Each structure stands twice: as structure tokens, then as C-alpha cells.
Amino acid sequence: MRVKKKLPVLLSIFMIVVSCCYCFRVDAQTENKINSIATIISDMNPPQNEGMPHGVPESYDWASGARIDMGNDPENFQAMISWGQLYEAAEGNPANNTRVQIKDIKAYMLSKQDSQWHLLQSSTGVEGAAYREDFADDISKRADIRYEEDGSISAKAGDGYNYHFWCQTGRAPIQPYDVAGMFTTIQARLVVDDTQASDDRSQARYLLSMGGDYWLDLTTDWDNLTTNGDIAIGKFKYVTSEWQAFNMTTLSPDEIWRNPPPV
């Protein structure tokens, strides 16, 4: 009789444990859904931008969509850095009380030697400056940024300037002969600038894209694109009030499915 009474109790305990484990697993998966393999592929293919970045000449190939430049061939460059760029959209940005929060920039390299992804760079916040929208003469000035409580930053762009940012850790060393693929990523969302003023995020028209550069080494200064070259540039997407991922990769869709980056 006591055995029969214990059985339902044991079954109840078992179901509670299983339910808790299941809920934890679902929650963990939900937390990781800001980025996905499908999003990475979409950020490079098809290549068309969601919008045109303000002030970028149409002759610039990345003005209209994603593209790969040096790709998996760093030549003699022995360092890299992940970067991104925030622009107002070409149609204008009527939102005056909206900023773009940017966090968790990362760079990974797929190794030819072991066919594994290796983390090269990672920082919660980013560094950067406000550059002329066309990057003419590398002219820049101090950007309008705000430091957020979680270690990230939020920024604004406009009045002829973008916000060009990069990983806080600086350049990372690479072995040029070992590059089978590159992947950079970041997360961004719209946030209110002044909480005492009207929330105009629904009117905001900000575009963001991710990229990366190869550099000659860890310390050489910029010299009119002779000491660095861009790896690739992902397509521009509109920033929304929800967190979303922005990515760049040098791999084709088939290669990404066969060698999925960490997300």
C-alpha cells in the first residue's frame, strides 16, 4: 500500500523536474535568438540594403548593398579589427529624441588548420568617432555618445556625419595563411534620449551595418588605405526598438550552413 502511495508522488516530482529543465532550455534558446544562421546569411545575401545611408555617394559599392572585398585573402596583412557604421537614412531622420544603443561587438575567424571558429575580439562597448558621411580625407570629430549602465554606449548620427565604431580591444593578430572565413557581429536597438521628453522612436530612421578591416600589423597608422583594407561589409538594416543582430561574413550561404559561426 505504501508503495502505491509513493508512486504518484514520485511521478509528480519527476514531472516537476522535467518541466523545470524544459523551461530553462526554452528560456536559454529564447535568449539566443537575437542572432541566427539565417540572419547572418540574410545580412549578406541578397545584398541589397534596406535603405540608402545619407550622404554616401552612389558610386560607393557598399552604398546599395553588402559586398566582399579582401574576403579570406589578407595578403600580407597580419591583424584585423571589427567595425560598424551608423547612418541616418537618405530620406531623413525626423526623430530628435532617439539614440541607437550598440553593444556586444565580436569577431571570429574560421581556421583552415582545424576548421574551427576562433574568437578574435569581444567587447560590450565600442569606441568610435563621427566621420564625414563619405569618409572624405578621413575627416572626423567627437561623436555624440552616451555611456549606458550595462557598459554599452548609445549614439546619434546626422548633420553630415555618421558614427563609425570599432571594438574597444583594438586590432587582433591573425595568421594570414590560416583564414578560411571571417565573421563580425553586433547588436543594436533604438532608445529614448531624454526620458522626460516625447518618445519618437517610431519616427526614427537609422541604418546600421557591420564590417571589418585587415591591417598590416597591430600598430601601423592609417595611410590612405595602403596599410589596411576592408574584409567585407554587411548590408544596412533599419534599427528598431527591439534588439537585433547586424552581421558580416566572408562565407557563402552553403559554407555558413556547413560551418555555422557561434551565435
Kindly report the CA angle at 104 between 259 and 52, in degrees rounded to 5? Answer: 85
Q: Does this model's pTM top 0.85?
A: yes
Do residues 67 and 210 lie in contact, with contact meaning Cβ atoms separated by under 8 Å?
A: no
Which residues, in sequence order, are bridge partners of residue 244?
Answer: 188
Instruction: List the chain pLDDT tens, one digit each, 263 residues.
Output: 333 444 444 444 444 443 444 333 333 334 458 999 999 999 999 889 999 999 999 999 999 999 999 999 999 999 999 999 999 999 999 999 999 999 999 999 999 999 999 999 999 999 999 999 999 999 999 999 999 999 999 999 999 999 999 999 999 999 999 999 999 999 999 999 999 999 999 999 999 999 999 999 999 999 988 999 999 999 999 999 999 999 999 999 999 999 999 98
Domain boundaries, the chain: 1-34, 35-258
Q: How many CB atoms lie within 10 A of CB 155?
A: 21
